Amino acid sequence: MTVDSAANVVKLALLIDGDNVSATFMPLIMREATKVGTVAVRRLYGQFKSGRMKSWLKHVDEFDLTPVNVSPLTRGKNATDMKLVIEAMDMLYGRQLDGLCIASSDGDFTPLAARIRANAVAVYGFGAKKAPAGYKAEFDRFYECDTLLAAEKKSTPRRISTPAAPDKPAPRREPAAPKAVTVARAPRRARQTAAPKPPIPAPEILAAIEAVRESDGWSHLGSVSNQVRRAIRDFTPKNHGHSTLKRLIASMPEVESHTTPNGTAFVRRRTT
């Protein structure tokens, strides 16, 4: 599968090497990945207990990422890389995916990218310009995130502030005779009330759940999230009083959910 057939890609898995990729790339990664297809699986790998993943934590809820904590088992071995490769191979054979996205600049993933392509599955890479050329060549498309961000920043017009003209000295006036001043009591401010939050878009959410429903009747939460954002421009759960889509859906009585042992969330319309 080549870049020319990207429009046919429907279901994607995004695997992020959090120990290697900068968290500042995440908005761009998700934006470009959703242009290719539906990001049904979103996993973030790293050693969370070491504190190195602190910059990634704010993106976990924002992008419905599934954190996969990896503890170093052997010195000199990259446990994060091994965990990502193992789960990528499991997905390649166990899940019906149209493409895999690997977010890393680590050339050690070159054989993995080559193996995915050998199985006629699209593979997309996200990383930095410094990634090895041979590694980048194995992908159907490799996104140099730092290059793209720099280009976007350069194309953004800068605001030019006009310096204020120097103040002219006020004409000299003779002091006027003092007048009696009556101070009126300021009216009591009306109590400001918070603007009501818009209602939960239940019809659109239910339609999204049905649109990405799998053969077992359950819908992947990440796929539902993509469908809702396509149906409702600028959708965000925070506008409806919830920090994440998972919590918003949990408040809907007509929907039930469950989470697998590996942290993947699924939802479906309640049948009873």
Whether residue 4 has pLDDT greater than 50 = no
Do 125 and 213 have their domain in common?
no
Task: Give the residue from 127, 154, 181 where a domain finishes.
Answer: 154
| Identity of residue 9 | V
- pLDDT value for 180: 54
Do 150 and 206 have their domain in common?
no
Mean pLDDT of the chain: 82
Residue 243 located in a structural domain: yes
Do 15 and 129 have their domain in common?
yes
Work out how many domains the chain is built from and give that number.
Answer: 2
Helix ranges, 95-220 (H): 110-118, 133-137, 145-155, 202-211
| Closest residue by Cα to residue 246 from 17, 94, 42 | 42
Top pLDDT among 116 and 5 is at 116
* pLDDT tens, position by position, 125-149: 999 999 999 999 999 999 999 999 9
Residue 166 located in a structural domain: no
State both tokens at 177: 């005779």
Helix (H) or strand (E) holding 103: strand 99-103
Do 133 and 261 have their domain in common?
no
Top pLDDT among 250 and 223 is at 250
Top pLDDT among 194 and 91 is at 91
- pLDDT value for 30: 94
Query: By residue range, what is the domain housing residue 234?
Result: 202-269
- pLDDT value for 167: 60
DSSP string covering 9-35: --EEEEEEETTTS-GGGHHHHHHHHHH
Residue 247 located in a structural domain: yes
Segment 89-98 shows an average pLDDT of 84
Q: How far is CA 219 from CA 38, 47, 101, 244, in A?
A: 12, 29, 20, 17
How many residues make up the chain in this entry?
A: 272
Classify burial at 127, counting beta carbons within 10 Å of its beta carbon; exposed 0-12, middle 13-18, buried 19 or more.
buried
DSSP string covering 111-127: HHHHHHHHTT-EEEEEE
Residue 118 located in a structural domain: yes
- pLDDT value for 256: 92
Alpha carbons 213 and 219: distance in angstroms, whole number: 4
CATH code for the domain of 67: 3.40.50.1010
Segment 4-24 shows an average pLDDT of 78
